[in-house]
Amino acid sequence: MKYMTAPVHHQISSLGLNLVAACTSPRSTIASLLLAMVVTSLPAAALDMAGTLTLGGQPVPDATVTLWRTAGTDSPATMAKASTDTEGAFTLQNLGASEEGKIYYITTTGGAHENVALMSVLGATPPSTIVVNELTTVASVFTNAQFIDGVAISGNPLGVQIAAGNVPNLVDPVTGTWGHALLDPINSTQNTTLARLNTLASMIAAFGTTADDAWRTAFLAAAASGAGEIPEDTLEALSNVAKASWANPDGLFKLFDTAYPQPEDGSRRKAPYVPYLAYAPKDFAMILTFAGGGIFAPGKLQIDVNGNVWSGVNWMPGSQSGVYHNIGGGTIKLSSNGTALSPPITGFSGMGVDGVGWGTGMAEDRVWVSSFNGSIGVMDLEGRQIGKESDFPMAGKVGNLMGVGVANNGDVWIADATKNQLLHFPGGELKNGKVVNIEGLKSPFGIAIDAQNRVWVSNSQSNIVMRFPADDPSKAESYEVGTSARGVALDSKGNLWVASNMSPGFPAPDLPAGTPVMKQFQLMTERMLPIMSKGTISATNPTGVINMIRPDGSQAAPKGFTGDKSVFIPWGVSIDGNDDVWFGNFWGRGVGLMAGDDTEGHPQGVKIGDVIHVFQSGSIQMVTDVALDQAGNAWVANNWNDVDAVVADKDPTRESTTWGGGTGISVIYGVASPVMTPAIGEAHKPN
């Protein structure tokens, strides 16, 4: 969309309402072309942007409004300024034509109070009418948390675009009211994100309307930065909260309670937005969940070069699947703002793939998936299959396939979990695949390839991680970690991080060689449930560790990191741009953030292996994996939901038979240091 003057609008209108109506019809090709010809033939003139500034539902006069444009890493440019009138209205003129790759946003200062600063991120094609208020501020700040410094938004271009594209999920910049994804039944009823957003917005409203100076001073102090610096205004305060939403939730909630006390009769508080939080949260993170596109029990997540989210899924949505009976799912794709881009129910399918466990791998230009049934699928970034089943030379000679590792040189490695072997595809060519046998593999699971082209492999039926040169597997070395090693990832220093379901010394399930993966899950879970029922293993006495193996083979903590009992049967690990570690806390039903090797920006006293926070939500279920994008969003794989529906009963309660697989993929906005995608080899900051 190009900015246009009012006369241009009149010229387009003169084509007649029939042409406009035709363009909304599936049969409107000719009409659309005519309209496009008219629009592109007109000069790219300026459009007046009309807006309203409100706080607590009331207009804010005499405030300064600034329109900014950012291209990413450069400092943002001021495009226009205005002042609000007595009705809170403002107009921004002579804006020029929008430019590809540029993001626009509004900041406001003053008006209600000198320390009130608000924001609205408008995206690449800003609307002609907008509302700026405390809701748009919360939504804009949390999605752009990794890029805000004062009033400036800047960072890697793709990340800035992803962040801007997610603002409307929380709040609509045109109306200043709740966004479409937030209002989705999954999000509006199954988590507290709506209440968290409303609670924070209500405090910003109080700051500029009803609060006294003592409350304002206390609010700014409660939103101090990790370095202890007190913010100067509401925008900076919210930015601090977004970057470390777990730092002081109790203190912030007490201020909400003070500003809007609960009446003794239990009636509603006089907060401007409902629903609001009734209890102090563990954090103020903004978390949404997206479904559709065939999502049901996603396993391993991958982010492509454009920021889209991919995963093979264990089972087909709507099926009564579990470890006893199952109908396999396909491959799903979400856009960087959570929109489902894969077909409903089946997802992308083909090449014989029938249910995907940990087998999702991402190259620069294609996606690899490996299946429970021994099939391999390769597709481009639009989901189109590359090749056919007959291209796979080992068809019928492999077992249940798990992890997919992509090397910097384009090689692809796949773990065969039941035949204890690896598959190697030099240069990523399916037809050139070969079997690689390495003594000591015991249900290989996760694969990562480092900068020296050494292949790291975890083993889910042992406590061993193996490493070998890609060109000489006979030189394999073994390293002890926790029992039942799963996901692996490399940080920028070449350290390998691995999650193990169980702590060292915990006896591994004695499974016969070649046991299918679903049977493994059945036997392992059947073994764990009685132990848990006796209290031997519980949330207060969990099992599972995360190990770090240095490039020289040494370990900072040979027995692994437990995060002071925060780690509870972890699965996947991912590394952010700060080299911190994110893990899917499967039985802990959450996502953990662990301090990495000599990482920065943490409170004093935090050291390697300390768990800084575990994010939980009503929408976050039993998590296998967490993947990070270039905007610092953490995408979460809800793999299982109800254990009873998965494994506990061969004749389950009929009402819950479709509850085995997890619901959707969740996102925690702006909580991680942005990282280059796709995650091939070591983690790196984006360019």
Identify the weakest region by mean pLDDT among 354-358, 417-421, 484-488, 535-539. Answer: 535-539
At which residue do the structure tokens 């309670």 appear? 257
Q: Quick check: 45 pLDDT over 90?
A: no
CA distance 400 to 394: 13
Q: CB within 8 A of 238, min separation 6: which ones?
A: 137, 138, 141, 142, 200, 204, 223
CA distance 311 to 404: 12
Greater model confidence, 344 or 226: 344
User: What is the structure's pLDDT at 24?
Assistant: 38
- Inter-helix orientation angle 213-222/249-259, to 10°: 160
CA distance 151 to 408: 38
Identify the weakest region by mean pLDDT among 66-70, 105-109, 525-529, 617-621. Answer: 525-529
Dihedral through CA 288, CA 291, CA 293, CA 298, nearest 10? 90
Give the dihedral sign, CA 159/160/165/171.
positive
Helical segments of 372-515, H only: none
CA distance 261 to 275: 15
User: What is the structure's pLDDT at 33?
Assistant: 40
Pairing of strands 444-449, 434-436: unpaired
User: What is the structure's pLDDT at 1?
Assistant: 34
Identify the weakest region by mean pLDDT among 74-78, 281-285, 380-384. Answer: 74-78
Q: Are 640 and 623 in contact (CB under 8 A)?
A: no
The DSSP output letter for 367 is: E
pLDDT tens for residues 463-479?
Answer: 999 999 999 999 999 99
CA distance 47 to 106: 16
Tell the burial category of 148 from Cβ atoms under 10 Å away from its Cβ (0-12, 13-18, 19+).
Answer: buried
At which residue do the structure tokens 């220093």 appear? 493
Q: Quick check: 486 pLDDT over 70?
A: yes
pLDDT tens for residues 627-684?
Answer: 999 999 999 999 999 988 888 677 778 899 999 999 999 999 999 999 999 999 999 9
Helix, strand, coil in percent for the chain, rounding step 5: 20, 30, 50
223-238 b/e (C-beta count within 10 Å ≥ 16 → b): bbbeeeeebebbbbbb
Residue 661's beta-bridge partner residues?
640
CA distance 440 to 453: 20
Tokens of 405: 């590792």
pLDDT tens for residues 82-109?
Answer: 999 999 999 998 787 777 789 999 999 9
Confidence band (pLDDT; 50, 70, 90) for 30? very low
pTM: 0.92
Tokens of 394: 């080992």
Q: Are 448 and 486 in contact (CB under 8 A)?
A: no
- Can you tell me the mean pLDDT for 355-363? 97
Q: Are 300 and 625 in contact (CB under 8 A)?
A: yes
CA distance 464 to 485: 7
- Can you tell me the mean pLDDT for 213-230? 96
pLDDT tens for residues 567-577?
Answer: 999 999 999 99
Share of the chain above pLDDT 90, in %: 81
Confidence band (pLDDT; 50, 70, 90) for 325? confident
The reply to whether omega before 275 is within 30° of 0 (cis) is yes
> Which segments within 496-621 are labelled E, that is strand?
496-502, 545-549, 570-575, 581-585, 590-594, 611-615
User: What is the structure's pLDDT at 44?
Assistant: 40
Closest CA to 163 of 679, 592, 674: 674
Q: Which domains does the chain have, with CATH numbers?
A: 6-41 (no CATH), 50-281 (no CATH), 287-322+330-384+394-668 (2.120.10.30)
Give the dihedral sign, CA 389/392/395/399.
negative
Q: Are 401 and 416 in contact (CB under 8 A)?
A: yes
Share of the chain above pLDDT 70, in %: 93
Helical segments of 23-133, H only: 29-41
User: What is the structure's pLDDT at 508?
Assistant: 67
Collapse the DSSP code of 416 into the 3-class scheme (helix H, G, I; strand E, B; otherwise coil) and give the result. Answer: strand
User: What is the structure's pLDDT at 152?
Assistant: 97
CA distance 306 to 574: 18
